């Protein structure tokens, strides 16, 4: 059987060659391709119905790819689209004769009388294209699987990545021109203006959202602190806000705490009942009623928790892709980075610092691939404890790897002076710091820096906005009782609310 020759400069459809070699015709719907192109040239409504569904590669016939590419370009430039404008545009690019000349264009317009059912036809064309892509991907997987030198886990990751691209309809594309990018940027700016400046995912912390405009898609955000400062408490409070108040699906990968412990903390924060009472089940009748009523919002929240220990980058990517695809997860949270392993992606071994560098680099790549914010908690080195003067964290305190700072779009710290036995902030007004914490934005690739003070409710392991007129006496009364029992001396690293005493376990 004679193989079909591509147009000059045209990519060869591998699935077409594979199918022909096996004596099978690739999945196609050429008659529908002709009908769709003809309808687009005679009816503007037809263009509006399919322009967001199809892309040039979806067409089986290479000449149809060229015709659609010209129609799409005219649409992007807001130019009229009909038989004459399409013919003229093809003539300018020197491809009119290659697609069959004016005769073929006229024949396309005569195939249909209107754009009726054009969207249905377009979706069939797209389905045939997906089938061809699956044939091509499957062939690549088979060929790679026979390669004895290939790492099997790398093959799995590559295969799943390609299938995920097909599922999402986000097939890898080449570089984009400035014209298309400017239009995308303008549309995004317009969308932001309609959302009152909130371009990302709101955290529920007013000042933080004002500074960042919400967590942005494809950003890697590092939240670092010494053990006991409240890293886990902060992201739990934030995840609860995002899922309950803003109905955004959140995925939490908890490498140290179990999923039940994590959700119990969320229940404590939501209901106002201490973790100790919930752990012991020692509740009064009115507290049982309070628990049953207030836990309803949390049980309906789109929160997904994975407590796989020693999670590798390979496993994280696989799990994250499924969560984004199946549950429309909008943000990933990893607690915490130093407990992850590079897995099979770590070529040639290397030390722990190189492994952390590999992990942070892959987390940034994952954020871009899935187009969601990725938040990774991180430990700080002990240099903070031994340093004289202010204990406020610095970028140089990031533990084990400077690559974390380099890869991250935002690097932030959590700092509570009360942890070091201080009773007031080390600022000009020396205001009381009891029951307060500071979220320090030390690096912000696309925005400003700031130190944002938050309210910390110790017995609930909860962060919230610091209300105006907040007094240390009020917070003292909030933290009395259970907080004194669990944290008798804030100068000593406190135990985790669930009994962990490991120095490297974040609170």
Using CA atoms, how far apart are residues 397 and 172, in angstroms rounded to an integer?
37
* Nearest C-alpha neighbor of 454 from the set 445, 462, 463, 442: 463
Task: Give the single-character DSSP code of 494.
Answer: P
| Residue whose structure tokens are 């140290």 | 256
Helix H segments across 4-77?
14-21, 30-42, 44-50, 62-76
Q: Longest C-alpha distance within the chain, in Å?
A: 88
Neighbours of 424 (CB within 10 A): 14
Look at the alpha carbons of 394, 399, 403, 404 in this order and tell me if their dihedral is positive or negative: negative
* Residue 119 structure tokens: 């969207």
Q: What long-range pairs does 447-454 form, CB within 8 A, spacing at least 24?
A: 447/211, 447/212, 447/213, 448/211, 450/207, 450/211, 452/205, 452/207, 452/208, 452/211, 454/205
* Nearest C-alpha neighbor of 303 from the set 234, 249, 375, 222: 249
* Nearest C-alpha neighbor of 252 from the set 233, 271, 268: 233
Q: 402: which residues sit within 8 A by CB, 6+ positions away?
A: none
Tell me if residue 501 is catalytic: no
Burial class (CB in 10 A: 0-12, 13-18, 19+), 161: middle
Candidate list 33, 34, 66, 256, residue with the active-site label: 256
Using CA atoms, how far apart are residues 106 and 99, in angstroms rounded to an integer?
12
C-alpha dist (Å) from residue 205 to 378, 455, 494, 502: 20, 10, 25, 29
Using CA atoms, how far apart are residues 92 and 108, in angstroms rounded to an integer?
20
- 415: helix, coil or strand? strand
**For residues 266-283, b (16+ Cβ closer than 10 Å) or e, as one string?**
bbbbbbebbbbbbeeeee
Q: 475: which residues sit within 8 A by CB, 6+ positions away?
A: 434, 435, 436, 455, 457
Q: Catalytic amino acids?
A: 256
């Amino acid at each position: 059987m004679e193989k079909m020759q591509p147009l000059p400069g045209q990519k060869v459809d591998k699935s077409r060659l594979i199918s022909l070699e096996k004596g099978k015709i690739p999945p196609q719907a050429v008659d529908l391709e002709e009908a769709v192109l003809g309808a687009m040239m005679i009816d503007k409504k037809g263009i509006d119905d399919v322009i967001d569904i199809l892309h040039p590669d979806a067409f089986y016939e290479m000449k149809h790819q060229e015709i659609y590419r010209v129609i799409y370009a005219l649409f992007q430039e807001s130019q009229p689209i009909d038989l004459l404008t399409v013919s003229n545009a093809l003539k300018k690019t020197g491809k009119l004769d290659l697609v069959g000349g004016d005769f073929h264009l006229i024949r396309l317009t005569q195939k249909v009388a209107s754009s009726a059912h054009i969207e249905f036809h377009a979706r069939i064309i797209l389905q045939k294209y997906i089938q061809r892509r699956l044939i091509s991907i499957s062939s690549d997987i088979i060929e790679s699987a026979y390669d004895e030198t290939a790492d099997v886990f790398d093959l799995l990751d590559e295969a799943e990545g390609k299938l995920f691209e097909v599922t999402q309809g986000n097939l890898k594309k080449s570089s984009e021109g400035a014209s298309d990018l400017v239009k995308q940027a303008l549309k995004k700016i317009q969308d932001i203006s309609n959302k009152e400046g909130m371009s990302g995912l709101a955290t529920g912390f007013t000042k933080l959202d004002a500074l960042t405009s919400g967590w942005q898609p494809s950003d890697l955000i590092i939240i670092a602190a010494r053990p006991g400062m409240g890293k886990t408490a902060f992201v739990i409070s934030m995840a609860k806000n995002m899922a309950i108040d803003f109905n955004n699906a959140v995925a939490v990968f908890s490498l140290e705490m179990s999923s039940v412990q994590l959700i119990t903390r969320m229940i404590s924060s939501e209901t106002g009942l201490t973790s100790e009472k919930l752990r012991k089940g020692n509740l009064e009748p009115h507290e049982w009623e309070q628990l049953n009523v207030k836990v309803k919002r949390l049980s309906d929240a789109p929160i997904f928790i994975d407590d796989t220990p020693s999670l590798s980058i390979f496993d994280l990517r696989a799990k994250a892709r499924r969560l984004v695809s199946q549950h429309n997860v909008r943000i990933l949270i990893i607690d915490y980075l130093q407990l992850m392993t590079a897995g099979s992606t770590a070529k040639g071994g290397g030390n722990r610092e190189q492994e952390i560098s590999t992990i942070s680099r892959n987390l940034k790549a994952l954020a871009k691939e899935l187009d969601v914010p990725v938040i990774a908690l991180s430990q700080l080195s002990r240099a903070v404890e031994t340093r004289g003067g202010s204990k406020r964290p610095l970028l140089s305190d990031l533990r084990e790897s400077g690559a974390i700072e380099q890869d991250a779009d935002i690097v932030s710290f959590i700092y509570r002076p009360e942890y070091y036995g201080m009773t007031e902030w080390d600022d000009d007004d020396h205001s009381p710091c009891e029951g307060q914490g500071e979220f320090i934005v030390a690096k912000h690739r696309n925005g400003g820096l700031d130190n944002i003070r938050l309210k910390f409710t110790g017995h609930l392991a909860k962060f919230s906005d610091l209300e105006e007129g907040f007094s240390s006496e009020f917070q003292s009364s909030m933290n009395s009782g259970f907080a004194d029992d669990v944290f008798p001396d804030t100068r000593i690293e406190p135990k985790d609310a669930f009994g962990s005493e490991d120095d490297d376990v974040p609170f």
